Amino acid sequence: METHQHRTDALVVGSGYAGSIAALRLAEAGVATIVLERGRRWQVGADGDTFATQHRPDGRASWLSPKSPLTDQTLDIYPGVLESLEGEGLTMIAAAGVGGASLLSNGTMVEPSPELFRRAFGDFLDQREMHDVWYPQARELIGCSPIPKDVLDSDFYRSSRDFMDQLERAGIPYDLVDLAVDWGVIREEMAGRRTASHIAGLNVFGVNSGAQRSMDVTVLARAEATGHVEVRPLSVVTGIRPQGDGHLVSYDELDERGTLVARHEVHTAHLVLAAGTLGTTRLLLRAKAAGHLPGLDASVGTRVGNSEVITARTGMAPNNPAQGGPCSVIVKDWQDNPHAPVTLLNFPWVDAPSDEGWITTIGASPTEPLGSFRYDADKDDVVLNWPVEDPRAVRATDAVRHTLDRLNAATPGSKTAFNRIGTTGGNVVGGVPLGLATAADGSVHGARNLYVVDSSLLHGSSGAVPPALTISAVAARVASLLVASIAGA
């Protein structure tokens, strides 16, 4: 099969939160940029059937695999929205599609407290600078806001109001969380003019109403509108290697069924990796093993973290079965928990096992960056190790249990149904730690004109809160520095 040759000033691998922000900043600087995205474009249609749902999972739910950790069904092979990687102690999931992880789930945007931020980043990032400059910039780019009162007061969000009442009785601090959704479209869902998606908790594989403010329709669309950015979907990067002062990037072009239709090579003066923790670490470790990037720092593949704790409580009065999404309430038990700070988000559960009242939460608590990736030559892929039984990981469930016990004590009849460390990690971060594997502008040590801007820069933690806003804020900071480096080159 013939290999097609291309050239560009800058090439971004990945189109999620970080890749879209990097593409926009490069475009604003007038840098001709190609964005390679392995997944397809998911353009929400009027029929409300763009994405698979938990009720009707199919190949759209899984990246070129008949299996997904989020359903027991066997699926048709299709370039769907989620890849899963079976690791040691953890099955990691990663998004695929133009817009990346912003297409999926709840779009919760949370800034950690100063203490939790410093606990996550140490001296590698200045918390005050991030708070004053980059978190606000990330919020502005994404366009997030908390649930409006009229939506919260509706019957669709009765369980959210019940949760808030319980938290007040227990004396546990909470707030309404910023969400990357269009509340006008949510109101149309409520009125029956759009497909019930968020309000029915059907958002794990994408949001069929169009309510999600995903990067493909916000930040990346702005970048494309400049005329300096070309997005190439269904483009699977297979390798990177230095060539001159730049890099040669090999990728396979797929059709809508995931079949290989062409092979390409792009020579780029500046290569920006934004393929997420799994994708970016995979590309770097594969290139190192092939001898293309032998000078990479030994920290590449390390400081990987998973702080997710999954819980459910029952025994309450019946509430709306889907628990209205996206999750609107954030618990900030950050001061009074004797084990560790705890964050909880009420998480929609469309398949609660009984009519009894349930409230499901996704929790987070600070954990050490205990995980690591290694390259497996037989698989030509990375393997993720997460020591799920390590006491430092288990401590997170103890902290969450303490918060749940306080809630149960304040809510007669309620009890904890389960409380376990997450073994399907969609919020796993780390692998190319900022300041160790890279410089402040994301430039990779041991390589030339190669940058990383995504979740792999985090040191295994986003400060015990969902990582999307922190990923975006770090990407905004790093992108500004790398654009300055490129412009001054």
List the chain domain ranges: 3-487
Query: Model's pTM, two decimal places?
Result: 0.96
Kindly report whether the peptide bond that precedes residue 326 is cis, defined as omega within 30 degrees of 0. yes
Class of the CATH domain delimited by 3-487: alpha beta
396, 340 Cβ separation under 8 angstroms: yes
467, 429 Cβ separation under 8 angstroms: yes
pLDDT in tens, the chain (489 residues): 789 999 999 999 999 999 999 999 999 999 999 999 999 999 999 899 999 999 999 999 999 999 988 888 999 999 999 999 988 988 899 999 999 999 997 899 999 999 999 999 999 999 999 999 999 999 999 999 999 999 999 999 999 999 999 999 999 999 999 999 999 999 999 999 999 999 999 999 999 999 999 999 999 999 999 999 999 999 999 999 999 999 999 999 999 999 999 999 999 999 999 999 999 999 999 999 999 999 999 999 999 998 888 999 999 988 887 788 999 999 999 998 999 999 999 988 887 777 788 999 998 998 889 999 999 999 999 999 999 888 888 888 999 999 999 999 999 999 999 998 876 667 899 999 999 999 999 999 999 999 999 999 999 999 999 999 999 999 999 999 999 988 765
Q: In 3D, which of 129, 180, 116 has the Cα closest to residue 480?
A: 129
**Interatomic CA distance for residues 12 and 264, integer angstroms:** 15
**Interatomic CA distance for residues 487 and 489, integer angstroms:** 6
Q: In 3D, which of 332, 334, 329, 321 has the Cα closest to residue 346?
A: 329
